[in-house]
Amino acid sequence: MWLVVGLGNPGDEYAATRHNAGFMLVERLAEAWGVELRGRLFKARTALARRGGEEAFLVAPKTFMNRSGVAVREAMAGKDVPAERLIVVYDDLDIALGEIRVRRSGRPGTHKGMISVVGTIGTDAFARVRIGIGPLPAGRDAAEYVLEPFKRDERSDLAKSLEEAAEAVDMILDGRIDRAMTRFNHRREAAANSGA
């Protein structure tokens, strides 16, 4: 079994905000996989899906972002899932809107949800898919910006990001994380290194 966790804040007032890109991805996967997220287990909305010979347990924590690790720890313990079978999806201001990045491990940076997850489960050795919501406009406060809804003219780029993130999760579940990193990371990093 795999655990696929999307980070966000619960409540209708946060549903369309930039900080809830992880929730949006988990909701998209649930719809694509024909399952319904329900709020009965592990302080989260959850759903169990079958993908070929694998099971994927979708998790959208009902704790607020800075306590996401509580729900992740409970789900890992309740489903007996080790960190190497965990995928966390979340928003990232350091990545441009319309782009994603895939990593097999790494530090949480300044993202409060990831700080909570890493601190609570005691390891950063798990896969993550980061959905770009940046860049932060000049003069804007990051904490306020991430809690604003996506603008109308940003929605096509968001849709592209979610489509690619869903594909990346599928690739990780299929054991192709290296291919996912090459596909979704390399072309953007190469462009940055060339000064494009």
Cα–Cα distance for residue pair 58/55, rounded to 1 Å? 10
Three-state DSSP at 44 gives strand
Of 18, 19, 45, 128, catalytic: 19
Q: How many CB atoms lie within 10 A of CB 38?
A: 11
19 a catalytic residue: yes
Cα–Cα distance for residue pair 186/179, rounded to 1 Å? 10
User: What's the half-sphere exposure (Cβ side, CA atoms, 13 Å) at 23?
Assistant: 23
Three-state DSSP at 74 gives helix
Report how far Cα 43 is from the mean position of its chain's Cα atoms: 17
Q: Which two tokens stand for residue 149?
A: 């809804």
How many residues appear in the chain? 196
**DSSP string of 114-140, one letter each residue:** HHHHHHHHT---SEEEEEEEEPPPTT-
Report how far Cα 39 is from the mean position of its chain's Cα atoms: 19
Q: Which residues are catalytic?
A: 19
